């Protein structure tokens, strides 16, 4: 009896000290943004948000309705202040799935603008970020739904699929903030376009000094760029035409089984940085225009053809990154870490477009599927 009384007295002292839920924020009492777009309009920022209203329709059945609003101002804080007046409850970005950037806006110093999302009390740093080509970013948000998903969720899944298929690198808003603070390394962002009513990832935008360079890598080149960057997704599929003059049903397609990249940073005769990149690929053939059994001699010839093709393409891709002044390989960061004195002596923004970058790709066919 005494033991029970002692326990009750202890509990009576402990209960008042326990934290409660006095500061909880119920989602039903808030206006939840699940998509944001940022454009430039008359030299002002145009912020557009989509608030997802969930409407109960009986037991375990729901409908949804997107409420879309826009505001303009000289900063994101200006537009956010106006947008808050359009809704009865407090706005929250804690569930925002997507942030879309118009091309003009993306060319600004994104670090200075997107810093707003980092400082608000309830950000969602897992948002996907993409550049919209050809139309205002807000136009994509005006789409009611993608498939059976609300537009923001649909766009999130489109980008996530592109990451898995090695079209663009995996990344979120939080990833961008790490790039913003890293000298000597640029990054890429997915490019979204509308095509006959459909929304798709059409390539990768080359970023330079925290802003969009205006240059992009095409969809067919993206996977090879990610291999060169040593930052690819779950699947990497490539193709090579057997003859440039005849392209109809005259290509070999293959999947990357293993990839090894070596980046050798050194100096040329004048002391200027130069880079040698060697990409070693093990592949599986999954399309070949000839149905008969492939001989060892044909496999050897195929390996040479594919290696030559990918080497040529990789050289072209690196020239595009230099034209865009986008050091996506982080060569500058490598130089900074290995030779700090040389790094300090250079203006890397002026130097990177002029350095020599040699690429070499070697392919070995390990599997031919049912072709052999």
Kindly give the pairing relationship between strand 44-56 and strand 31-41.
antiparallel
| Whether residue 294 has pLDDT greater than 90 | no
Q: Is residue 192 a contact partner of residue 131, using CB atoms and an 8 Å limit?
A: yes
What confidence score (pLDDT) does residue 30 get?
Answer: 55
Question: CA-CA distances (angstroms) from residue 115 to 125, 179, 183?
Answer: 11, 13, 17
What confidence score (pLDDT) does residue 29 get?
Answer: 44
pLDDT digits (tens, 9 = 90+) for 178-190: 898 888 999 999 9
Residue that is written with structure tokens 């808050």 in the block = 84
Helix (H, G, I), strand (E, B) or coil at 349: helix
Most confident region among 26-40, 243-257, 265-279, 316-330 by mean pLDDT: 316-330
228/335 Cα distance (integer angstroms): 18
pLDDT digits (tens, 9 = 90+) for 108-140: 999 988 888 877 666 678 899 999 999 999 999
Residues contacting residue 25 through CB under 8 Å, at least 6 positions apart: 92
| Whether residue 215 has pLDDT greater than 80 | yes
72/204 Cα distance (integer angstroms): 28
What confidence score (pLDDT) does residue 31 get?
Answer: 72
Q: How many CB atoms lie within 10 A of CB 368?
A: 18
What confidence score (pLDDT) does residue 282 get?
Answer: 97
| Whether residue 276 has pLDDT greater than 70 | yes
Residue 83 φ/ψ, nearest 5 degrees: -60, -30
Q: Could you please state the CATH topology (level 3) that the domain comprising 236-372 is classified under.
A: GMP Synthetase; Chain A, domain 3 (3.30.300)
| Whether residue 16 has pLDDT greater than 60 | no
Q: Which of 42-46, 209-213, 285-289, 333-337 comes out lowest in average pLDDT? A: 285-289
Name the burial class of residue 277, with classes exposed (0-12), middle (13-18) and buried (19+) by CB atoms within 10 angstroms of its CB: buried
Residues paired with 281 in a beta bridge:
259, 363
What confidence score (pLDDT) does residue 367 get?
Answer: 85
Domain(s) labelled CATH 3.30.300.210 in the chain stretch across 236-372
Q: What is the mean pLDDT of the chain?
A: 86
What confidence score (pLDDT) does residue 22 get?
Answer: 45
Helix (H, G, I), strand (E, B) or coil at 62: strand
The residue among 347, 344, 335, 350 whose CA lies nearest residue 267 is 335
| Whether residue 71 has pLDDT greater than 70 | yes
Six token digits for residue 223: 């996977």
Q: Is residue 86 a contact partner of residue 69, using CB atoms and an 8 Å limit?
A: yes
128/155 Cα distance (integer angstroms): 9
């Amino acid at each position: 009896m005494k033991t029970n009384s002692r326990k009750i007295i202890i509990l009576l002292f402990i209960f008042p000290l326990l934290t409660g839920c006095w500061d909880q924020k119920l989602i039903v009492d808030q206006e939840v943004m699940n998509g944001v777009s940022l454009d430039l309009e008359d030299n002002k920022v145009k912020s557009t948000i989509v608030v997802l209203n969930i409407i109960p329709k009986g037991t375990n059945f729901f409908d949804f309705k997107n409420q879309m609003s826009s505001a303009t101002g000289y900063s994101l804080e200006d537009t956010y202040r106006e947008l808050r007046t359009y809704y009865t409850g407090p706005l929250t970005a804690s569930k925002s799935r997507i942030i879309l950037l118009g091309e003009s806006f993306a060319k600004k110093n994104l670090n200075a603008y997107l810093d707003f999302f980092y400082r608000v009390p309830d950000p969602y740093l897992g948002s996907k970020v993409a550049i919209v080509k050809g139309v205002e970013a807000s136009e994509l948000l005006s789409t009611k739904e993608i498939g059976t998903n609300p537009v923001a969720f649909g766009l999130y899944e489109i980008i996530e699929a592109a990451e898995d298929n090695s079209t663009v690198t995996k990344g979120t808003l939080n990833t961008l903030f790490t790039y913003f603070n890293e000298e000597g390394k640029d990054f890429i962002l997915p490019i979204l376009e509308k095509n006959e009513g459909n929304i798709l990832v059409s390539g990768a935008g080359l970023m330079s000094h925290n802003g969009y360079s205006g240059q992009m890598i095409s969809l067919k080149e993206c996977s090879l760029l990610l291999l060169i960057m040593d930052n690819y997704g779950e699947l990497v599929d490539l193709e090579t035409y057997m003859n440039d003059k005849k392209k109809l049903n005259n290509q070999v397609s293959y999947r990357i089984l293993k990839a090894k990249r070596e980046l050798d940073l050194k100096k040329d005769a004048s002391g200027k940085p130069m880079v040698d990149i060697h990409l070693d690929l093990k592949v599986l053939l999954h399309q070949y225009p000839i149905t008969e059994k492939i001989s060892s001699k044909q496999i050897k010839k195929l390996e040479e053809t594919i290696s030559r093709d990918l080497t040529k393409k990789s050289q072209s891709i690196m020239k595009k990154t230099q034209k865009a002044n986008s050091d996506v390989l982080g060569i500058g960061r490598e130089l900074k870490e290995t030779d700090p004195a040389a790094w300090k002596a250079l203006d890397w923004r002026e130097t990177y477009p002029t350095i020599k970058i040699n690429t070499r790709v070697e392919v070995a066919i390990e599997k031919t599927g049912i072709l052999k």
